[in-house]
Amino acid sequence: MLQVNFLRENKERILQGLQKRNFKQLDLVDEAISADDERKKFQFELDQNLAEMNKISKEIGILMKDGKKEEAEAAKSKTAEFKENSQNLQQNLKETEARLLEILYLIPNIPYEKVVAGTSADDNEIIYQSHDVEGLDEGAIPHWELAKKYNLIDFELGVKIAGAGFPVYFGKGARLQRALVQYFLDKNTDAGYLEVNPPHVVNEASGYGTGQLPDKEGQMYFVNEDNLYLIPTAEVPVTNLYRDVLLDEKELPIKNTSFSQCYRREAGSYGAHVRGLNRLHQFEKVEIVRLEKPENSYAALEEMVEHVKSILTDLELPFRILRLCGGDMGFTSAMTYDFEVWSAAQEKWLEVSSVSNFETFQANRLKCRFKGEGRTQLVHTLNGSAMALPRIMAALLENNQTENGIRIPEKIAAYTRFELID
């Protein structure tokens, strides 16, 4: 969430940034400033009213002490009027603050200066590609057929138990999943990330803290009786560990990694492009989260990009890195890099990771600050997938199919304890 003072002091920059995002509700900026003006007016009137009440109360005490009861009673009648007025002003202030917050929740983050304008994924910048890609030999099949052939994943059983988008993993398929998770966690902890095992449900405050609410409310599974949400990513509970926390400058940077199940309704998702593992309602992911001093956050972002790059290199998969344009970035992000792996059997690129810097956008919602050099300021938050499992699995199966079976990359074979799925 952007700070209202930032909107007021940088209005032209804000509007230019929102246009870079192709955001249409530019009038929300003026609405927020207007609501803040009204909030300030009510606060001033309330302060004045309370000050006058305190003044009269002191006068009543003096009058009573001097035995001037009639004058004291007359003064008391005035305090009743001020009290009623204060109650009205407090109510108006509360309503105005709530309206201001609702408006601010609707305004997305401002893109970083390196982010180009654009309206869709077609406008994203390709900044790196590992090597040229090509299709597989004749007779190569997509991962959902490989999964059936080698009894790795059963999509129909998942439909029977829960519905579409909830696959069941068997045998070497389950072991490969588990091996990838352990490898990702080891890779992250070796890079200095502290492993965290958080809850897989969060309350409403946590959803608002990281920006999933109200932006993605329709995509989240909701447990009505308990007013809890199933997490769409470990980013939500891990980042909320630091909600309403004042850190010491010496504690930064904070680097966490977490494995979790992820739950996404993905309402309206259907068709060939979501077949097999391409898009699921439940999947496994390992996340990395960082809290940084503002002046260090973009260097940290580049470090995270290099870290994810090293993981995909270990997996021996063809991949590319894109810097997203303004119109394709998430609501909370200031800059995002997407990683895509090449699916040889499907002959298309599959997104497997997003690495983002949110600057102070999440921290302002979370009220996550640090104190250093005699002042308090908001941290910058960052997060990334390292990695999401489904499309990694799809690419591993498709790109490594041979006449003899599916070859397991050397770094992962050390975890699976088998080198071939046959």
Q: Residue ranges for the binding site for L-serine? A: 233, 264, 287, 383
Q: Structure tokens of 80? A: 């009743």
Nearest of 115, 180, 192 to residue 152 by alpha carbon: 180
| Distance, CA of 105 to CA of 271 (rounded, Å) | 32
Crossing angle between the packed helical segments 27-65 and 11-20, to the nearest 10 degrees: 140
What values do phi and psi take at 225, rounded to 5?
-65, -30
CB neighbourhood size of 320 (10 A): 18
Helices (H), 1-129: 4-9, 11-20, 27-65, 69-105
Instruction: Identify the residue whose tokens are 């994203």.
Output: 124
328: closest CA among 114, 130, 24, 111? 111
Residue pointed to by tokens 């407090």: 90
Rounded to 5°, angle at Cα 125 from 119 and 128: 155
CA neighbor of 116 nearest in space, from 298, 322, 321, 326: 326
Q: Find the radius of gyration of the CA atoms of the chain.
A: 27
As given in the structure block, the two tokens for residue 325 are 């344009």
Among 189, 219, 224, 359, which Cα is nearest to 280's? Answer: 219
Enter the tokens of residue 11. Answer: 């209005």
Q: Beta strands 319-323 and 194-195: pairing type?
A: unpaired
| Distance (Å, whole) CA 54 – CA 70 | 19
Binding residues: 233, 264-266, 287, 351-354, 383
**Helices 297-314 and 171-190 meet at what angle, rounded to 10?**
140
Which residues share a beta bridge with 338?
A: 322, 354
Q: What is the dihedral of CA 208, 210, 216, 222, to 10 degrees?
A: -60
Q: Which residues are annotated as a binding site for ATP?
A: 264-266, 351-354
